[in-house]
Each structure stands twice: as C-alpha cells, then as structure tokens.
Structure 1
Amino acid sequence: MKTKRHTDPALAEARRQQVLTAAADCFRRKGFHAAGMAEISRMAGMSAGHIYNYFESKEAIIESIIEKDMEEMFSIFEGFEGQPQDTLTVLLNGLNIGVQRHMDTDTGACAVELEMLAEAGRNNKVATLLRDADTQARNKMRQLLTSERSVIKDIDEVELESRINVIFSVMAGLLLRKVLYPDLTEETVLIALRPAMKTLLMPFESH
C-alpha cells in the first residue's frame, strides 16, 4: 500500500505528528501488538483509512518515531560540536542531558522505547531500524571522539569502538534501572557517572 501525496505539506506534517503521538500513547499503554490501527485511529481522531494516507503500516509508524528520536539526538550532538571547549569538557557538561533522556519515564517515551526493543526481538524489520539508528548514533559519537578537540583522538579503532559501546551501554542501562528502581534520580546517577565517563573519555594509563 502506498501513502497518498498531499498538496499541503504543513497540514500533512501536522496530521503525521497527530498519528505519531496517538501511536506512541497506544504502544505505551497496550504494547505494539495490542495497539492496532483501529485503536491508533481512535486516539488520533481520524479514520483508519485516513491514517493509511500517511503510514502504510505500524512498522512505518515505528520508523517515523525512531527518526524523530534520532533528529532530537542529532540536534544534541550538533549542540556539542558547536561549543568551543574541548570534547571532554563538552561531553561531561552535557552528561545531564543524556541522563534526562534515558530516565524520562514521566512522558512515556521510555516505555515506547522498551516496547520497540521488545518488538525488535520478534520483528526483523524493527530490529533493522533500531540497529541502523544505533549505527548513526555511534558514528556521531565517533566523530566527536576523533575530532581535533578530543584528547583520545589518536587511539586505535578497536579501543575507540570499545569505549563507545561501553558509553552507550551505560546510558541505555539507565532506563532499565529507572524501571526496576523508580526512586533513582538524575542527581544520584551523576555522582558516579561523571567520574566514570571522564575515565572513558581520557587516555588510559599505561601499565
């Protein structure tokens, strides 16, 4: 099924966002499989047939949710790249932004992320979408860590990849900790996370 072309881009984008908001809420409350297009259409206040003018499937909706999340993340990275300080200082100063994003259970965004990860274990298309997004995110981090302002710009590729994967693992794990331990706060996380992240962003001592 092909989506319909729209003559008014602004109206089409508004409708798309309306569907994405409704879908994210449905995924959060009912899970991916229980949230059918009929349920999404009711939440969006439009017919299922109308929704198909913008998205050909639930996977297409998930793809757009991921794209929106990536756009927000790229905006954060661009903000880091535009700052005059060295990379270590910029990333440590901006660490709270990443912590907030990965512990934001109040808006439901984290619940949707968990649902998409669960679906990736069953759905190869969703898994591919998430892996592609992760690749783009790791490439952005690689650009920062190999820039001239980075004190680890000259480390070998294997070590660089290892550090990036550990950094991403720690940040992604914050969501699970928040779900299992709801009393966890950004402030308590940052007490230990700042020095740990500083170690990962500086040259290792030779032994």
Structure 2
Amino acid sequence: MNDRSLTCCYCEQCRPSRGDGMTGSNAKTGTAPRRTAEERKEAIISAARTLFAKNGFHGTGMAEIAKVSGVLVGQIYRDFSGKEDIIAAIVCRDFDQIMNDQELADPTLSSDRDRFKSWVHNFVSSPIDPDALAILADILSEAGRNPRILQIVQTTNDRFLNNIAEAARLVLPGEGKQEARFAVADGILTASGALLHRDLLRLPRDPAIIARIICWVDEEITRWEFAE
C-alpha cells in the first residue's frame, strides 16, 4: 500500500492575491487600514462559515458573504472560484485544527503506546462545535449530488487516514508495518465516523463507547506487533 499525499489540494485557496477588495466608503476614501490578502481571505472564510451554518450551502449567496465579510463580490471570486472552494478552505482549516498532534509530544506520558492512545482518545472524544456540525451535515448531504463536494470529502478522508497512520508509527514502526498502520488508522477513522453520526443525531458521546474504542486500539496494536 502506498502512502497517499498529506498535502491538501485546496490550500492554494489561502495564497495571497492582489488588491484589498474592501466594501463601503472606506474602500473608496482609503481612510481605513488596508487588510492584507490573508486577513481578507480569513474574513471571507469566517463569514461564509457563519452563514453556511445558519442558512445552509444553498441558502447562502455570494452577496451575503460579501456583506458580512466586507469584501466585494468581485474580489471574493478572485480569491475563490465559487462556494465549493470556500467550503474546501473551511474544511482544510478545520482539518488542521482537529489534527493537533500535541499529545504525541507530551513528555509526561510513560510510553509511546500511552502517547498514541492519549492522542487517539483526544481525537475521538473532542467535542465538535455546533457550527462545524451544521456545516458537516450540509456537506455530507451535498456530497451525494455535487461531485466537487464529494471530492472535498474524499480528499479530507484520505488526509485523516494518512495522518492517523503516520501517528501510528509510534507504536508500529518500520516499513514492514505499513499495512498494520493503515488498518489501525482505518478502524479509528471508522469509529470516529460512528461518533460523528451520534453527534448529528444529537446523542451524547458516551465515555463507555470511547473507552471501548481505546481498548480496541490497544488490542489491535498488540495483534499487529506480533503479526508476520
């Protein structure tokens, strides 16, 4: 099995582009400080996230995003080719926040296995904010009929799988254990998806379920450690 690329193909959406694209009188008079391209793009993404969570993907127009972000519609289209690319940028940012590997470097943990299990526990138990959950539900619904959104979902799934498999090098090192790492990663990602389903149904994240997931991870590591 070959490792799939960890690079998000949508991150170019965060590259700077020319012009400020401010709306309102300040853009004409130049009395307000000009935003950098990064600040402008962040304003677009933040506004779109709020509107998508409130009104849904189809219920949000570019004019609304422009009004809330303070960026001209024309400038938004220079930064993003359409709403799908804004969704891609939102997903990319969320991915980077979720895949925080701080626990992997925690020196207080007694072993690599403890470190990895702590990381997995954080990954499957961290709560998702209501806006992110609303956007996720809309994205999954749209993926069934929009090939571009489906591509975003598939790419993000691959990034999660690769990152979890890479983290599993702590407990299953060596090129000979690549299949094992991906098997463990796939199980963790599947379990996480089941927990997300419970979130969408507004069911609480049961600590007993999370404990069983961690127990399964421990058993799988042991099984693969001694596998030929």
Which TM-score band applies after superposition, normalised by the shorter structure?
0.7 to 0.9
1:1-207, aligned counterparts within 5 Å? 4-6=17-19, 11-74=36-99, 76-77=100-101, 79-83=102-106, 86-101=111-126, 103-106=127-130, 108-145=131-168, 147=169, 149-151=170-172, 158-182=179-203, 184-185=204-205, 187-203=207-223
CA offsets per residue over residues 108-141 of structure 1, 9 Å max, x none? 1122122222222212122222222222221222
CA contact (8 A) 2:133 2:200 kept: no
Instruction: Give the distance between the partners of 1:9 and 1:63, measured in 2 at CA.
Output: 26
CA offsets per residue over residues 155-174 of structure 1, 9 Å max, x none? 76555433322210111221
SS of equivalent to 2:183: helix
Aligned length: 197
CA offsets per residue over residues 4-24 of structure 1, 9 Å max, x none? 424899722112111111111
Instruction: Give the distance between the partners of 1:188 and 1:181, measured in 2 at CA.
Output: 17
In the alignment, structure 2 segments of 5+ residues that lack a partner are 1-15, 21-32
Instruction: Give the distance between the partners of 2:37 and 2:125, measured in 1 at CA.
Output: 31
SS of equivalent to 1:202: helix
Cα RMSD (Å): 3.0
Instruction: Give the distance between the partners of 1:100 and 1:9, measured in 2 at CA.
Output: 41
What displacement does 1:91 show? 2.4
Between the aligned residues of both structures, percent identity stands at: 21
Structure 1 pair 26/200, CA: closer, same or farther in 2 (3 Å)? farther
Instruction: Give the distance between the partners of 1:19 and 1:198, measured in 2 at CA.
Output: 43
Corresponding letter in the other structure for 2:40: R
Structure 1 pair 53/170, CA: closer, same or farther in 2 (3 Å)? same
In the alignment, structure 1 segments of 5+ residues that lack a partner are none
